[in-house]
Chains A and B, each alone.
Chain A
Amino acid sequence: MAEGDAELQDLYREVLLDYFRDEAHKGVVDGADFHSHGINPVCGDEIEVTIKTGAGCALEKIRFTGHGCVISQASSAMMAEALEGRTPQQAQALINAFKDMMLKKAPLESLPEELDALKALEGVRRFPNRVKCATLAWNTVQQGLGTKPGRTVDFEEVE
């Protein structure tokens, strides 16, 4: 296999493409408690995250809409799946753990078990101009969780 093919498959792993096509967490939650909107002006990626909390303030239902590249869309779907059922505090810790891994502040092995699927994004770390594609959804939801329930908050990636 040529070097380019291997790299393409390493960056865009099968599991990533599966999440990219997955519609399970697409949409908007009615009566959302948390609502945030994120954009990456450099590439025009845009995401809107709505979250409904349930018993014990757990993030019962997370939905996202928007448009973006394979990496940002797959990462959004993985984010929704990984954070559903967590408390906001647990979610914050997982978001930080994921971002630390992507920004190479922490090794891949440090990812908590709950984020196992996110290891598929490891290849993105070798493409510095694509890391923000992977972190947009996570930064957006983190911003949303940091504000009072019922308020909408905007997040913008900066270069």
Chain B
Amino acid sequence: MNVKKIREDFPILKRLVRGKPLVYLDNAATTQKPRAVIDALVDFYEKHNANVHRGVHTLSDEATQMVEDSRAKAARFINAPEPECVIFTRNATESLNLVAHGWGRKFLKAGDEVLLTELEHHSNLVPWQMLAVEKGVVLKHIPVLPDGTLDLGSLPNLLTKKTKLVSFTAASNALGTLIPVEKIVAAAKAVGAVTLVDASQWAPHLGLDVRKWGADFVAFSAHKMLGPTGIGVLWGKRELLDGMDPFLGGGDMIQRVWLDRFTANVLPHKFEAGTPNIADAVAFGPALDYLTKIGMDAIREHEVALTRRALEALKAEPEVVVYGPADLSQRGGVVSFNVKGLHPHDVGTALDLEGVAVRAGHHCCQPLMGKLKCGGTARASFYLYNTEEEVDAFVGALRKAVAFFKKPAHA
């Protein structure tokens, strides 16, 4: 993998921040876009812009074909057998909400249990809390252990005949923990529960095979994997998607409409009401092509090397506390940390002044931060275009910040 060459494909990596070269380590929040994705947006609006699925003219046919090409690419990327089972949403959050509304509201009743984990992003907690209030569904959580992994030993107690859904992240955005997806899916299936995997932090970084996972639903966002903002994916098994109620009502999701009723359209259109985000769906295609061309195994290997380098350097800093699994095989390219006695926002600001972009705060995981007994952390997260030199620049900037804030008080 030629990182130097890859970097040339990302125009933003040339910019300076506060007079220093940008070191972009906030990839778990969103990733930068290669030229091919930016060009695809311009190309679409300059040459093919039209509404989809209803025109009888050339441009509409072209736009429709381009969206469907992206859908097919997304299906191939996750080894999904049918592109029709790939629903385009706004983001993974909407994908998770789609399942809560379309499946949860229809099939869950009072006393049914939904099993989540303590690692979840707010987007995989709040939709279920809303459903719990509405339907009397009971929420349970797989506990997180001090090293950031899940306490899977608790599964036999947590999974019962009442468990109707197990919804969990494949990789923690806050700590980087990689979750043994197949193991949880198998355990859930054994009690007849439906499974939903939040793959937002997995799909961009590791090969994803929905058939191997065996899950019923998988959700992720395009913008975390080189694609544009405003496009997410919900993949689901056909029999589940067919049995669900529509999410939003309107154009495109119907077959026939009378004044008092409607019939729903076939997949995927049943869940794509109204004019979709056409241009961004089109530009998601080249993002997937780019990742496929580089290869997910090579990307994973590169991120492991960067993460190892960062972890080893931070381990040598007595003032720095690192969270998450020490075993790199159980960790994605995320390094969450704190400087003792310092608030992560001060650390984040000091790093920003050196051109190093990290995330600081609760990472939309307030319950997890409570469990770790910290208000938040600073987080560096890596991607295919990051270099070893950038890891060193990050560590150097952090050392500088520690020295600045920890210098002896003014006499």
* A-to-B contact residues, CB < 8 Å: 2-5, 7-8, 11-12, 14, 17-18, 21, 41-46, 67-72, 127, 130, 133
Residue of B nearest to A18 (CB): B410
Among B18, B19, B343, point to the contact of A68 (Cβ < 8 A). Answer: B343
Whether B346 contacts A70 by the Cβ 8 Å rule is yes
User: Given the complex of chains A and B, what is the CA–CA distance between A18 and B410 in angstroms?
Assistant: 7
Other A-B pairs, 18, CB within 8 Å; known A43-B343, A69-B343: A3-B19, A4-B20, A4-B354, A4-B355, A12-B346, A12-B405, A17-B405, A18-B410, A21-B409, A41-B366, A43-B345, A43-B360, A43-B376, A44-B361, A45-B343, A70-B343, A71-B346, A130-B345
User: Given the complex of chains A and B, what is the CA–CA distance between A130 and B345 in angstroms?
Assistant: 8
Whether A133 contacts B345 by the Cβ 8 Å rule is yes
Cβ–Cβ < 8 Å partners of B18 in chain A: 3-4, 7
Whether B19 contacts A45 by the Cβ 8 Å rule is no
Is B248 in contact with chain A by the CB < 8 A criterion? no
How far is the CB of A22 from the nearest CB of chain B, in Å?
A: 9
* B-to-A contact residues, CB < 8 Å: 18-20, 342-346, 349-350, 353-355, 360-362, 366, 369, 375-376, 401, 404-405, 409-410
Cβ–Cβ < 8 Å partners of A43 in chain B: 343-345, 360-362, 375-376
How far is the CB of B77 from the nearest CB of chain A, in Å?
A: 34
Cβ–Cβ < 8 Å partners of B369 in chain A: 44
Whether B376 contacts A3 by the Cβ 8 Å rule is no
Residue of A nearest to B351 (CB): A4
Residue of B nearest to A127 (CB): B349
Cβ–Cβ < 8 Å partners of A4 in chain B: 18-20, 353-355
Residue of A nearest to B360 (CB): A43
Using A3-B19, A4-B20, A130-B349 as known contacts, say yes or no to A44 and B362 having CB atoms under 8 A apart.
Answer: yes
Whether A70 contacts B355 by the Cβ 8 Å rule is no
Cβ–Cβ < 8 Å partners of A71 in chain B: 346
How far is the CB of B323 from the nearest CB of chain A, in Å?
A: 15
Cβ–Cβ < 8 Å partners of A18 in chain B: 409-410
What are some 17 contacts across the A-B interface (CB < 8 A)? A2-B19, A2-B20, A3-B18, A3-B19, A5-B353, A14-B410, A17-B410, A18-B410, A41-B366, A44-B376, A45-B343, A67-B375, A69-B345, A69-B346, A70-B405, A130-B345, A133-B345
Whether B375 contacts A45 by the Cβ 8 Å rule is yes
Residue of B nearest to A9 (CB): B404
Cβ–Cβ < 8 Å partners of B20 in chain A: 2-4
Whether A12 contacts B404 by the Cβ 8 Å rule is yes
Whether B375 contacts A8 by the Cβ 8 Å rule is no
User: Given the complex of chains A and B, what is the CA–CA distance between A46 and B374 in angstroms?
Assistant: 12
Cβ–Cβ < 8 Å partners of A5 in chain B: 353
Residue of A nearest to B407 (CB): A17
Whether B353 contacts A8 by the Cβ 8 Å rule is yes
Among B350, B361, B369, B401, the most chain A Cβ lie within 10 Å of the Cβ of: B350
User: Given the complex of chains A and B, what is the CA–CA distance between A3 and B401 in angstroms?
Assistant: 14
In order of increasing CB-CB distance, the 7 nearest A-B pairs are A44-B375, A69-B343, A3-B19, A4-B353, A69-B345, A69-B346, A4-B354
Cβ–Cβ < 8 Å partners of B343 in chain A: 43, 45, 67-70, 72
Cβ–Cβ < 8 Å partners of A3 in chain B: 18-20
Whether A8 contacts B404 by the Cβ 8 Å rule is yes
Cβ–Cβ < 8 Å partners of B354 in chain A: 4
Residue of B nearest to A44 (CB): B375
User: Given the complex of chains A and B, what is the CA–CA distance between A41 and B354 in angstroms?
Assistant: 27
User: Given the complex of chains A and B, what is the CA–CA distance between A3 and B17 in angstroms?
Assistant: 10
Cβ–Cβ < 8 Å partners of B342 in chain A: 69-70
User: Given the complex of chains A and B, what is the CA–CA distance between A61 and B52 in angstroms?
Assistant: 68
How far is the CB of B315 from the nearest CB of chain A, in Å?
A: 25
